[in-house]
Amino acid sequence: MDEHLAALRERLKSRIDFLRGDFTLASGKKSDFYINGKTTTLRPDALNHAARIFISLMRPARPDRVGGLTLGADALIGAITALSFDLGPPLEGFIVRKEPKGHGTGQWIEGPELLPGQRVAIIEDVVTTGGSSLKAVERARISQPKAEIVGVYALVDRLDGGGELLAGLGIPLVAVFTKDDLV
C-alpha cells in the first residue's frame, strides 16, 4: 500500500493538482491554495492508486455500497466499484445529484436502489467544511433511512471543520491525506 500512497501523494503535490493563488472554495471560504481532486482522479494511474487505497481503508467498516455527491466523487466511485469486483468484496455504487433529475422519475440518487440494512460509505475527493459530505449523507438517509452510514472517505481533508461536523453526527471522516501532508 505504501507504493500507492507515495505515487498518489506525488500526483496531488504536482503543480497541476495543487495550485497556489486566490481561490473561493465550494464552501464559500477563501483559500491561498486549491487541491483539484478531479484533475487527480481523472488520470488512470492516480485513479487506480486511489481506488486501491480507498478499498483498503474501507475494509474494516465492511460497506456494501459506496456513493457520493457528483462531480467530485464520480470517478472514484466508478473505480472503486470496478476494482472491488476483483479485490473483493464487490461494492455497488451510487451517485447523489446536486438537484433532482429534471425529467423522468425526478431522482436524487442514481444507481441501484439502497436497501434496508446496507452499510454505506460516502466518498469525497476533497473535504473542507463537510457540506458536500453532509448533502450526500442526508440524501442517502432520505432514500433509505434504514441504511447505515459507516463513514466518509476522502482523498484529502483540508482540516477546515469537515471532520468535526461529521463527528458531531457520529460519522467518522477517514482521509487518505490531510492538507498538512501536501502543503
* Whether the predicted pLDDT of 101 surpasses 80: no
- Residue 86 falls within a domain, yes or no? yes
> What percent of the chain stands above pLDDT 70?
100
- Residue 10 falls within a domain, yes or no? no
The whole-angstrom separation of Cα 66 and Cα 64 is 7
Alpha carbon separation from 120 to 4, 25, 128 (Å, rounded): 24, 26, 21
Residue 105: per-residue pLDDT: 78
- Residue 107 falls within a domain, yes or no? yes
| Residue 124 banded pLDDT, cuts 50, 70, 90 | very high
- Residue 2 falls within a domain, yes or no? no
If one counts the domains in the chain, the total is: 1
Q: What is the pLDDT of residues 9-29, one digit of tens each?
A: 999 988 778 899 999 988 888
- Residue 96 falls within a domain, yes or no? yes
Indicate the pTM of the whole model.
0.94
Q: What is the pLDDT of residues 46-77, one digit of tens each?
A: 999 999 999 999 999 999 999 999 999 999 99
- Residue 67 falls within a domain, yes or no? yes
Q: Is 91 exposed, middle or buried (0-12, 13-18, 19+ CB in 10 A)?
A: buried
Q: What is the Cβ-side half-sphere exposure of residue 105, based on CA atoms within 13 angstroms?
A: 6
- Residue 178 falls within a domain, yes or no? yes
Query: Structural domain of residue 151, as residue ranges?
Result: 51-182
The whole-angstrom separation of Cα 34 and Cα 152 is 21
- Residue 120's nearest CA partner among 79, 77, 157, 71 is 77
CATH label of the domain that carries residue 166: 3.40.50.2020
- Residue 34 falls within a domain, yes or no? no
